[in-house]
Amino acid sequence: MIYGKLPVVFLSVLTSEKKDSTNHQIATYILEHIDEMQNIGIQDLAKRCHVAMSSISRFCKEIGLKDFAQLKELLADSNFYFEEQSQSTSLQVRVRDYGQKIYESIQMVESSLNLKQLISLCQDLYQYQRVGIFGLLKAQTAAMNLQTDLLMTGKQVESYVSYFQQMDYILNADENDLIIILSYTGSYFEYENLRVLQKKLEAPKIWMITSVQENYPYFVDEVLTFQSLQDQGSHPYQLQFIASLIAQEYNYRYKI
């Protein structure tokens, strides 16, 4: 994973909940006081957020945790870090270094993408009436760009920013649904405890667009893979490029 579970679930809350909602209020307070959280109990947190303790417990369950104790464990294990793409003291050189890395990452996609699988994915997009396209954090921006581009070709698909809405859609899908997951490291399903849910994941057809991995979840039916630098800086551009290629190829083959 490039990003841990904490930014995934908390940013999902912040981007999908209303600003004055209880969950948004709790998530905002925790992120703004994350260094203090190990010394804060559930009663104290509820008081600071001006909510009931039951609201804290409900918040924990709604972000996929068992209870407040598990939230404390997640906070203790979280490690926020940002990758610098250049160590140069010159802004001009830093811009050049980062641009070169992005250019290199796009070339890696161009030279390694399985074109037969790209065509096969477009065929499934055309054949399935119900399609959901999802990703996490930066990968979701690529999913939404693909959703927009496909709409311009006349193909309507579903996509949601909230991870919880995404999982709800996937777990309620059946054999008539096509699910496309954009996941740079292939770890999309690792953010959820899936042991009791795997049977449901066998129902829809699932494609995963990801950098080359040693293995993939058994319920993923097809993969579209590419070589990558495995870094924070270039991965959104690779996924955006692939999303655009899918839309371009779909339009070429099935334009109205």
How do residues 5-42 score in pLDDT, each as one tens digit?
A: 777 778 778 777 788 899 999 999 998 998 888 889 99
Same domain, 108 and 191: yes
Same domain, 121 and 70: no
pTM of the model as a whole: 0.83
Residue with tokens 């209870």: 67
In the chain, where does DSSP find H-type helix? 5-16, 22-32, 42-49, 53-62, 68-77, 91-112, 115-127, 138-153, 163-171, 198-201, 235-254
Residue 97 has a pLDDT of 94
Residues 140, 239: Cα–Cα separation, whole Å: 9
Q: Which amino acid belongs to residue 58?
A: R
- What does pLDDT average to over the chain? 89
Same domain, 143 and 232: yes
Residue 21 lies in a domain: yes
| CATH number for the domain harbouring residue 133 | 3.40.50.10490
What's the rounded mean pLDDT across residues 165-180? 93
> Which residues, listed in sequence order, are joined to residue 222 by a DSSP beta bridge?
207
| CATH number for the domain harbouring residue 70 | 1.10.10.10
Residue 220 lies in a domain: yes
Same domain, 37 and 10: yes
Same domain, 130 and 191: yes
